[in-house]
Chains A and B, each alone.
Chain A
């Protein structure tokens, strides 16, 4: 009986300590940006309103770019699982990544997700919430799991600021506002630095994004890659189509005569194969970019709306204007 009482005391003490900690952190945040003390945090996420009473301790991330956002904020200790990489995790966060269990290579099933007993799920794409994956957000809410969908990945024409807002939201949810702000500052500084390399020009350079496809090419239209191309002062030849990705045709591509081709690297077709295909294509081989072998390779993970934006942007700027 005394043992039980002792244990109970201990637990209570622990709880009290934790409560004190949250209060302290809360007041810090209040001092910085006038959040109301101890009140639940409300965040609008797309059409959903998320209410966070305590910062999550058992988060699951799905899709590489959001996993990297969490790791970049140093939140690996509050994660109980990750899933779905496009390629390999950013080398800076490899160690942190390996400390968190990988639930599945692609999307884990509902059972696997529930078995990990998460209190928060952070997904990059809405397909993470399909029935064959984690299940709908409403359903997860019934299990007491808060969900956050990376907003910038789910809009037409996302801006850099939208990505920053996502990082800021995650920072707020996990009470890591400072880490979030410093990550955002680092990212914008790198992007500004790269922007200074963009030369004065009369005609913007024309860029074609080659994602995949042989009969008809799939290309980036108004997605994040397009935003980065615009930021680099260049012109995406299919940037006027109002959706994220589109299937276009070789005729229009060749007619636009792009100066630069950005090849997205993922899946089973290698970059070499994609270039070889362009060089053998009867029409595309006549295009300026192909004749001059002006290719910039961007891995799929860098084309996503995440912390790799500066890296992708530097590659794009160097690819278009570099070494001339």
Chain B
């Protein structure tokens, strides 16, 4: 029996790995410019043989500087949002929680719209939008955290409620900024940002999200036992020797940092962080040891496919990927929910 389960799991990993590979290759092949598959293969062959970017043709640039960074970013953001979703759902013990529940996306939105519509933070140059979004996200989490504190302890209910309240306030600030600038040029840009998009991926900046997600994953994986204990009630957790207060705080900091980085590079892509953990739980059950890697892999595959769709569906124009994640992911999730007898 145990042997069977191990076999099931390893074949699941294998299958998902193949899916990731296939999706990534498809993502390099497909786009609004029609580029034959052999050109893609030949580019990678030439790069492996020392082709420098100054010698690249237009087609090469499209693959190397547009599609490749997008694909890597999609994998990273998908995996990152999924694992943060898992951690947050364990943290607040609420199936409706997603990475943005503590107000991160609304705080980041205020920062980004301030830059896009009002030209604030211009000293940050090309990093102004990302920088302001990251600052907005972190300030929000700190605010929420302080509001949720009660005699040096964090209560989950207070955390959730202050998250919702702060989100509402910041969403209103964003709406105010948008409303007072009707037909302003930046509105479309701001909307794209709020719905989330991977179109801004740049090869030389990719290391920041990639590194954050990898480090975050390592931390979460390292503490999978604590998360397993955390989803039981607090008394049980404490009797099992977990310092719930400290661990919760650590979890908040780590998830906030990862989400802040992801929101800064790709905007507030919704739904992935909420849905993927549940999908993974339906497939492998609630043990965080297996739940985390499976969620990360599912999230990565899902995001790459969503990004391909965002690029193709109204080509030669582009759709914000957040629309695709919700429209495609929603019905699939409902179907999955109806089919299984899943409860959290």
> A residues engaging B (CB < 8 A)?
103-112, 114-115, 117, 125-127, 130-133, 135-136, 138-139, 143, 154, 211, 213, 218, 243-247
Report A197 CB to chain B, min CB distance, Å: 30
Q: For A115, what are the chain B residues with a Cβ–Cβ distance below 8 Å?
A: 32-33, 58-59, 62
Q: How far is the CA of A265 from the CA of B179 in the complex (A)?
A: 21
Q: For B61, what are the chain A residues with a Cβ–Cβ distance below 8 Å?
A: 114, 143
The DSSP consensus for interface residues of chain B is: loop
Chain B residues with a Cβ closer than 8 Å to the other chain, count: 32
- B183 engages A127 (CB within 8 Å): no
- B184 engages A111 (CB within 8 Å): no
4 closest Cβ pairs, A-B complex: A115-B33, A112-B316, A131-B200, A131-B199
- A111 engages B197 (CB within 8 Å): no
Q: For A126, what are the chain B residues with a Cβ–Cβ distance below 8 Å?
A: 185-186, 189
- B317 engages A127 (CB within 8 Å): no
Given contacts A115-B58, A132-B192, contact A104 B66 (CB under 8 A): no
**Residue of A at shortest CB range from B192?**
A132
Partner of B202, one of A103, A112, A139, A213: A139
Report A45 CB to chain B, min CB distance, Å: 16
Identify which of B33, B311, B315, B320 gathers the most chain A CB atoms within 10 Å of its CB. Answer: B33
Q: How far is the CA of A117 from the CA of B126 in the complex (A)?
A: 24
- A109 engages B32 (CB within 8 Å): yes
**Residue of B at shortest CB range from A112?**
B316
Identify which of B66, B67, B185, B202 gathers the most chain A CB atoms within 10 Å of its CB. Answer: B185
Would you list which residues of chain B between 98 and 148 have a CB under 8 Å from chain A? 126
Given contacts A138-B126, A143-B61, A243-B181, contact A111 B66 (CB under 8 A): yes
Given contacts A127-B185, A130-B188, A131-B199, contact A247 B179 (CB under 8 A): yes
- B183 engages A110 (CB within 8 Å): no
Q: How far is the CA of A125 from the CA of B188 in the complex (A)?
A: 11
Q: How far is the CA of A114 from the CA of B64 in the complex (A)?
A: 12
Q: Is B31 an interface residue (CB 8 A)?
A: yes
Q: For B59, what are the chain A residues with a Cβ–Cβ distance below 8 Å?
A: 115
Q: How far is the CA of A108 from the CA of B320 in the complex (A)?
A: 14
Q: List 29 A-B contacts (CB under 8 A).
A: A104-B316, A108-B317, A109-B32, A109-B317, A110-B66, A111-B31, A111-B32, A112-B32, A112-B316, A114-B33, A114-B61, A115-B33, A115-B59, A117-B58, A126-B189, A127-B186, A127-B189, A131-B197, A131-B199, A132-B192, A135-B199, A136-B126, A154-B185, A211-B183, A244-B184, A245-B182, A245-B184, A247-B179, A247-B182
Q: How far is the CA of A54 from the CA of B61 in the complex (A)?
A: 23
Q: How far is the CA of A246 from the CA of B33 in the complex (A)?
A: 38
Report B81 CB to chain A, min CB distance, Å: 19
- A130 engages B317 (CB within 8 Å): no
- B62 engages A111 (CB within 8 Å): yes
**Residue of A at shortest CB range from B122?**
A47
**Residue of B at shortest CB range from A130?**
B189
Report B301 CB to chain A, min CB distance, Å: 22
Identify which of A112, A125, A154, A213 gathers the most chain B CB atoms within 10 Å of its CB. Answer: A112
